[in-house]
Amino acid sequence: METHQGQPSCFIILGASGDLAKKKLLPALFSLYCNKMLPEDFVVIGFARSSMDHKAFRNRIVENLTCRYGENEQDCAEKMDQFLDRCYYHSGQYDSTEDFESLNKKINEQYPDGANRLFYMSIPPSIFVKTAKSVGASGIMTVEEKFWSRVVIEKPFGEDTESSEKLLESLSKIFKEEQTYRIDHYLGKEVIQNLLILRFANRIFEPIWNQEHIQYVSIKFTEDIGVEGRAGYFDQYGIIRDVLQNHLMQILALVAMEQPVKFDAESIADEKVKALRSVPALTLDKVTVGQYAAIEKNGIKYPGYHDDPEVPDDSITDTYAHLQLAINNKRWYGVPFYLSAGKALNDRKTEIFIKFKDVPYSIFHETGKTNTNGLLIRVQPNESIEFQMANKVPGLGMNLEKVKLDMLYHDEFDGVLPEAYERLLLDVMRGDRSLFLQKYELQASWDIVTPILHELQEKNIQPKPYPYGSEGPDHGCPA
């Protein structure tokens, strides 16, 4: 695996004045610095349209920096100062080749012998292509052969199959596939990475990980807040595009895929694509969409989606969706996969639940609960793995109840769990694309949801209202 850990490196964040850069990317780079995972010689360059000097940029950065790995107060302050001294700001227009040429000149002056370059496009999708063309035309991506140049692109990657393919084609003319890292931060979460270990390093699961033994699979994403501050963006996409097509579809692929021949990006992507291409396109009878409505509870008023001033009065954008998918291959034929995601619900969590079938015949069927076997994988919060099984209730009778055997990450393992962006940025530096979306799996996931997205729009199907803070609208499925 390519590392170049000791080579000088530039981390260039496009959209450096935005929330993602401030709250996730720069704190992640700082954590890597604290853990001595960055090269000795590096700089961080923020690029955005806002007018700002280096000092003002550093003041914005420091607000969100934390020492997560046990440094004392004095060491933490010293490391912050050292990190901030390497942070610079360059103001410019995203569609201006001249502004990127100016930035390139400054980098070349600081590193006349060359340096690695990591570009993070933390910018609105509407300006992806224009920005990429400016970057490409400026020559800033061109480096000497002994150094690398890579670009990280944030979702959404299009709005449907056609727009995604056009975006991929446009960007491929500027960036090579091997230097393109399409990020889905969910793939950097510790529990999601552990899915491959759980499945393929434990023999106990392989014989029962199929349609003979599994009744259904449920993958849920819930938030207990609405679209506060993001309504303008969210209303263009909805929950299916914003969460289901990417985060949850990637989780589905990891749950359902066959074991890859090797642990590398291409082999993993090959198996994920095979799984996704076995999923038929969604039909309307397998989809429930909802939109949260206002409610007053305990004297507190919770606004509905249409109460947000940035939401059009006639908006039919989905804030909740429940999908029932099938995977038509030998392993999964007949097993429903339920994917659901929603905002303004009664909890904040992301979970994977594998529900196992009941035993064909149980001598205990009259004494209590026997159909209790399940594997719950909690992605957030309080990361854990929990196995559910039947157990005798202590006492003189023969009564059965469901019990839980669980492993909490924070209890089982010492140390701080790395944030997703820490792991993913480190993988970009290492040249490891295994946790990033390859273009064929992106196409396969869009093919599943595109027909239903068009049908919902063309037929002007109204989402079912559900109260803010509820479980969402009824979808008639067991999970």
Domain termination residue (choose one: 154, 175, 199): 154
Q: Indicate the residue among 154, 175, 196 that finishes a domain.
A: 154
Within this chain, do residues 245 and 307 fall inside the same structural domain, yes or no? yes
**Helix residue ranges, H only, 143-210:** 161-172, 190-200
Question: Given this model, what pLDDT does residue 69 score?
Answer: 64
Examine the domain organization and report whether 225 and 361 are in the same domain. yes
**Total domain count, the chain:** 2
Q: How many of the other CB atoms lie within 10 Å of CB of 329?
A: 15
- How high is the pLDDT of residue 2? 44
Q: Of 101, 131, 154, which residue is a domain's last? A: 154
Element (H, E) at 377: strand 374-380
Do 102 and 199 share a structural domain?
A: no
Judge whether 423 lies within some domain: no
Residue 180 — φ and ψ, nearest 5°?
A: -105, 125
The answer to whether position 432 is within a domain reads no
Tell whether 114 and 199 lie within a shared domain: no
Tell me, yes or no, whether 257 and 384 share the same domain: yes
Per-residue pLDDT tens listing for the chain (479 residues):
344 457 899 999 999 988 899 999 999 999 999 888 999 999 999 999 988 889 999 998 888 888 766 666 678 888 889 999 999 999 999 999 999 999 999 999 999 988 999 999 999 888 889 999 999 999 998 777 789 999 999 887 889 999 999 988 988 888 998 899 998 888 888 788 888 888 998 898 889 999 999 999 999 999 999 998 788 889 999 999 999 999 999 999 999 999 999 888 889 989 999 999 999 999 999 999 999 999 998 889 999 999 999 999 999 999 999 999 999 999 999 999 999 999 999 999 999 999 999 888 777 766 656 667 899 999 888 888 888 887 777 777 777 777 788 877 666 665 666 788 898 999 999 998 888 888 888 999 999 999 999 999 999 999 999 999 999 999 988 88
- What is the per-residue pLDDT for 73? 65
pLDDT at 372: 77
In a domain, 477, yes or no: no
Any residues with CB less than 8 A from the CB of 255 and at least 6 apart, and which?
A: 195, 199, 217, 219, 352, 354
Identify whether residues 335 and 269 lie together within a single domain: yes
In a domain? residue 474: no
The catalytic residue among 90, 247, 306, 475 is 247
Q: Same domain for 300 and 398?
A: yes
What is the extent of the structural domain holding 310? 187-418+438-467
Say what the pLDDT of residue 371 is. Answer: 67
Give the pLDDT confidence score for residue 369 in this predicted structure.
Answer: 60
- Supply the pLDDT for residue 70: 60
Residue 429, in any domain of the structure: no
Strand order of the β-sheet with 116-121 is 87-91, 42-48, 9-14, 116-121, 149-154, 180-183
84 and 60 Cβ atoms separated by less than 8 Å: no
Co-location of 195 and 67 in the same domain: no
Helices (H) and strands (E) in the chain, counts: 15, 17
111/212 same-domain check:
no
Domain membership flag for residue 162: no
Residue 427 forms part of a structural domain: no
107 and 192 assigned to the same domain? no
Is 237 within the bounds of a domain?
A: yes
291 neighbors 318 (Cβ within 8 angstroms): yes
Residues 380, 276 share a domain: yes
For residues 116 and 206, membership in a common domain is answered with no
Catalytic annotation present for 54:
no
Question: CATH number for the domain including 99?
Answer: 3.40.50.720
Residues counted in the chain: 479
CATH of the domain at 362: 3.30.360.10
What distance in Å separates the CA atoms of residue 283 and residue 323, rounded to the nearest whole number? 9
**Residue 4 has what pLDDT?**
44
